[in-house]
Chain A
Amino acid sequence: MGMTRREMLKAGALTVLGAGAVGGAVTRIVGTRSPSAGRTKESEADKWTREASYYERLEEGEVRCLLCPTACELAPGIRGACRVRENQGGVLKTLVYGRAASVDIDPVEKKPFHHLLPGSSTFSFSTAGCNMSCRNCHNWQLAQSPPERLPARDLQPRALVDAARLRHIPIITGTYAEPLVYAEYLLDVARLGNEHGLLSTMVTAGRVERRPLLDLCRELKAVKVDLKSMSEEFYRTNCGGNLGPVLDTIRTVKEQGLWLEIVYLVIPTLNDGDSEIKRASRWLLENVGPDVPLHFNRFHPHHRLRNLPPTPYETMDRCHGIARSEGVNFVYTGNLPGHPAESTYCPGCGELVLQRRGYQLGENHIQNGNCAWCAEELPGLWS
């Protein structure tokens, strides 16, 4: 009626464009509200705030974080991508020193470490934060939230180590979210743990710079690294990260002489192709040797990938077969109790040396780190 065709088209286009923008825009507006609106009072938060160890000062009060390859450059008052490091007046601070948002006791097989004190328990802890954003993350609430939004326990390094000792737990593990983003906390826990004869370990996705990693390697005894895929594309689209630094971490941990195990979570259709599994196996063989255990874990629908099925058993067998035929000596399947590949077999004679079923141990034919059948030395920290 009173409207020209041009106006009509404009109105239509605006409708469609605006409709697309509205979800994202409102989400953003709401999502960037000050995190201090969370559960923790400011004064309480102070006790968990420490100057970060890895950063450099830039001009005009800005800082650059040197902990991970994201290399956030932060103006005063701004948080890093991991949500737990903040530029406070030109000083980079970690906000999670002693701020344990999750604490539990797990079987060491659950981490999984299969060549590290089998049958032991580990005192597991985590703060908020992660420098990646995997769509299948099982700990997404921990990993993707700023610390203020999570209920937390004050568990300073000494209290944490005491808690483990009190329960006679020989291992402490930084795990669940990403321990690298609470590196200062983990380092102090590990130092103190060492003083008391506890083994400190971490379970990490491995995106870290070399210097902090070397510092951690000096204090930790074992590291489990998640190798999520051999594809940069997968790291970018599914994890919000990149592959190169992860491979560097795996190499460095091995070079530094720590006990290393690798987990590859097999996600149907996304990272389970033969060629990719072959590439992962070959890369490991060439860079860290045949004795680093490789765990293929079964995926279960979770977080945002809830409409993918769990990994088919056949796929698990296929991955196991490929890695074995490539020459990896210790290939395990995870999240699949009762599968024969949960157990350890001697690479020398092929005999079963340590039987596992889920977290339960069965026959044990390891004597002083050697195969009881053929005396082959078995790599790992067995006692």
Chain B
Amino acid sequence: MNEDLTGAEKHTQASRLWLPVVIMGATALIVQVVLTRELLSTFFGNELSIGLVLAAWLMTVAAGSALGASRSGRFRKPADAFGWCQMLFAPVALLALLVARCVQPFGVLPGDSPPPGAMLVLSLVALSPVCFVVGLKFVLAAGAFSRGSDGGSKRGGILAKVYALEAAGAVLGGVTFHFILSDGVGPLQTLAIIGVLNVASGVFLVRRTVAFGLALVLFAGLVTTITGGRELELTAMRASPRWEGVELVDLRVSRYGTLVVARRAGQLGFYQSGVLAFTSEDEQRNETLAHLTALHHPRPQRSLVIGGASSGLPEEISRHALAVKAVDLDPEMYGLARRWLGDRPGHSGNMGVSTAREDSHVGSVEVHHGDGRLYVRKTKKEFDLIVLNVPDPTTAALNRFYTVEMFDEASRALGEGGILAVTLTGSEHHISGSVLEAAASLYQTLSLSFEHVRVIPGDEMIFMASDEGGVLESDWTLLVERLEERGIESHFIDKARIEDLMHPFRGEMIVNAIKGERHASLNTDLNPVSYHHQTRIWLDRLSPGTSRSTGKAGAALYWLVIAGFLTLPALVLLARMISKRRTWRADLGVLLAVAALGSFGLILELLSVLVFQAACGYVYHSLGALMAAFMTGLGLGAAFARTRAGAAWRHWLLVGLLIAAMISLLLPGVFAVVVSYPSLALPILVLLLLVAGCLVGAVFPAAVELYGRDECSPAAAGGSVYAADLAGSAGAAVAAGTIVVPLLGVAGTARLTVIVTTLALIALLMLWRRG
């Protein structure tokens, strides 16, 4: 294969490849994050859409890798082909961004979200070219290293090198994105910056006149994009049908997403990652929530608002002569709101003659930037009113604000007679099905932490909880008295509206229905069910009744079908590739084992994030550390395997699965320790992920060594094994994220992973015996 190169040339070629492969790993990770964020903006991301986008990414990379593997023999100069792919990666990634931003799924109106099928297709359309190149590059890099190696190099060792370098690149990319690019650099600019690196590394490998010419053109385009800055980003956004009919007036990039201010008819809308966060004309929502809750307390002095510091709600609550603390994660959004709304956010002053309000009692608002849950945890007996002003728990990340643990912490942060207020999208006149389940679950979860819970039905239902009897039972006339006593003038909350909302007959059917669901599932940190309820509500909105008839088993089936579907094509592709070979049974065993380990890795990452949240109450700042630990482990494991030439690779695979099963078995215990000793959470989980990463990383070269035996090249073997790894992860991404974790909880999911890895072990043994 490499007989046409001299030893010195081989050495040079191999050493030239190191940096481009690291760049490949780094840029692939950054492109994945940028494109995922962009697609989620189009889909107004819930947990299902996150799973689908991740699965689409993994699946198409797997397909690219599998295809590359099947055609690896045709690349006579894989290093050159790799270089060309590196160069083309930049324009392909930019194109993917534009597709993700501009393609409006057919039949989806502005403001609506597409159904899951359309999400998947759109993700595949946007991501396929770029992912395909990512998958292909892996195979080409393996081919190039193999040509650059001396004949004695084991192919497992070659692949281990590529895998380790790619993992190192991913760690580097993650760190760069987290600390440099995520704050202030827009998606277009980010892709252009990493595009420059790609083009440079590509031309470094190809070194031909035509490549230099192409590189010059690409550099010119990329540099223009980088220097275009915010204006160019805004111009590109304006091209999207998503923003039709509004004027985009400002844009910021924070580490929590792209922030956009859009104006229409004098109203300013503030969007975070494409999702409407609040507008300049939200008086109705703010007044309703602020006054209905604050009026229940006889003498509110101090209040805490978690989330939405710039929405205007804290100011509205402060009108009850309160000192209000508002805790908000994103200082960028707050700054943007100040810039456009001044110091009266949420009050546009456009409401005609009766806007001016002369309040005699206006309290103060102090904004604190940080994690709301962490803030609550550190507070004791301080507040009379805590208002949870965060969106519905549509994702696992939001779910943590609605758990028993969070409510316990809030209960401790409240003073005597204090009230916690939580909202959930509902209905004013009727409740049933998935919406009822979600509401009942919240009711039961709150009831576990508080003695008394009151529900006020509405399009946004308000749940109030308190430990003191009598506080929440206030008659509507008492609330009206307090409104008058406090001299509060409100557009939306007055005597008639209070009577309408609080009259005993009002919403009776809804309240009784919610209270009647006594066996509603409880939402806890380690058994997060609320985001699953929200996914079901979303499905019901798209096609009424979809989720309710399924029940738990049906829901599981639903998601497993989708997960299986996502995983199968890659596996079928691989199965067909190996079916003609003598060693197909053995190879199938290898691929199954790798897919099982891929899903083990992904599930471990997912569970670690959830458990860390449970233990520490926040995750944003440590998410990077957790992910980096796993990626570093992958690199270290692969690098270690490289040094073990001639090892008994079969044993590695068997032992790898065995260790994975054992780690999964120990997980519930480890997680219990983590939750009990939060100060140890980060070191324990980092260590766990490092070890798991090492395991998966070390098994990869072993699998490559075993796959195809003498019948296929290192590149083909590497591509196939890589594809199986990704396919396993893709299936796990959908299945675990959407159904398994909510259904089985963290401990149950860990047990399921024991079963999956053990079954893979048994299958491997059987297939090897027969093969």
Contacts of A145 in B (CB 8 A): 432-433, 544-545
> Does B451 belong to the interface (CB within 8 Å)?
no
| Highest count of chain B CB atoms <10 Å: which of A8, A104, A304 | A104
Smallest Cβ distance from A142 to chain B, in angstroms? 4
Smallest Cβ distance from B298 to chain A, in angstroms? 25
A19 touching B716, Cβ below 8 Å: no
Binds A, one of B250-258, B279-287, B359-367: B279-287
Interface hits, A327-357 → B, CB 8 Å: 335-341, 357
With CB as the reference atom, state the residue of chain B lying closest to A333: B352
B543 touching A31, Cβ below 8 Å: yes
> Does B565 belong to the interface (CB within 8 Å)?
yes
A135 touching B427, Cβ below 8 Å: no
Selected from A30, A138, A305, the residue in CB contact (under 8 A) with B558 is A30
A340 touching B352, Cβ below 8 Å: yes
A338 touching B352, Cβ below 8 Å: yes
> Does B269 belong to the interface (CB within 8 Å)?
yes
Q: A11-B572, A31-B546 are in contact. Are A106 and B500 (CB under 8 A)?
A: yes
Contacts of A314 in B (CB 8 A): 265-267, 350
With CB as the reference atom, state the residue of chain B lying closest to A12: B63
Q: What 1/0 flags go to B512-546 for Cβ under 8 Å of A?
A: 01000000000000000000000000011111111
Please measure, in the bound complex, the distance between the C-alpha atom of A6 and the C-alpha atom of B573, giving whole angstroms.
Answer: 13
With contacts defined as CB atoms under 8 Å apart, how many contacts are there between chain A and chain B in the complex?
263
B577 touching A3, Cβ below 8 Å: yes
Please measure, in the bound complex, the distance between the C-alpha atom of A126 and the C-alpha atom of B117, giving whole angstroms.
Answer: 33
> Does B478 belong to the interface (CB within 8 Å)?
no
B427 touching A141, Cβ below 8 Å: yes
B117 touching A21, Cβ below 8 Å: yes
> Does A111 belong to the interface (CB within 8 Å)?
no
Please measure, in the bound complex, the distance between the C-alpha atom of A139 and the C-alpha atom of B428, giving whole angstroms.
Answer: 8
| Highest count of chain B CB atoms <10 Å: which of A12, A15, A269 | A15
Selected from A107, A141, A360, the residue in CB contact (under 8 A) with B431 is A141
> Does B550 belong to the interface (CB within 8 Å)?
yes
Q: A2-B580, A31-B543, A312-B266 are in contact. Are A19 and B121 (CB under 8 A)?
A: yes
Which of the four size classes fits the interface of chain A?
35 or more
Contacts of A176 in B (CB 8 A): 429-430
> Does A33 belong to the interface (CB within 8 Å)?
yes
Smallest Cβ distance from A252 to chain B, in angstroms? 27
B109 touching A270, Cβ below 8 Å: yes
Please measure, in the bound complex, the distance between the C-alpha atom of A266 and the C-alpha atom of B445, giving whole angstroms.
Answer: 38
B117 touching A20, Cβ below 8 Å: yes
Which of the four size classes fits the interface of chain B?
35 or more
Smallest Cβ distance from A114 to chain B, in angstroms? 14
A139 touching B430, Cβ below 8 Å: yes
Smallest Cβ distance from A102 to chain B, in angstroms? 4
Binds B, one of A46-54, A63-71, A146-154: A146-154
B509 touching A3, Cβ below 8 Å: no
B44 touching A306, Cβ below 8 Å: yes
Q: What 1/0 flags go to A228-245 for Cβ under 8 Å of B?
A: 000000000110000000
> Does B562 belong to the interface (CB within 8 Å)?
yes
A269 touching B245, Cβ below 8 Å: yes
Selected from B117, B265, B433, B544, the residue in CB contact (under 8 A) with A24 is B117
A interface with B by C-beta (< 8 Å): 1-3, 7-8, 11-12, 14-16, 18-28, 30-31, 33, 35, 37, 101-107, 110, 124, 126, 135, 138-142, 144-146, 149-151, 153, 167, 176, 237-238, 268-270, 300-310, 312-315, 317-318, 335-341, 357-360
22 A–B contacts, CB within 8 A, in A order:
A1-B712, A3-B573, A15-B59, A15-B63, A19-B566, A20-B117, A22-B565, A24-B115, A27-B116, A101-B430, A105-B503, A107-B496, A140-B544, A145-B545, A238-B109, A301-B111, A302-B459, A308-B110, A308-B276, A310-B281, A312-B264, A337-B497
A-B pairs with lowest CB-CB distance, top 9? A23-B117, A308-B111, A2-B580, A312-B267, A23-B116, A269-B245, A312-B265, A360-B496, A144-B544
New contact pairs (15) apart from A15-B63, A33-B549, A104-B507, CB-CB < 8 Å: A1-B581, A2-B581, A8-B70, A14-B569, A20-B117, A27-B115, A27-B539, A101-B430, A150-B430, A150-B433, A176-B429, A306-B276, A307-B276, A357-B494, A358-B491
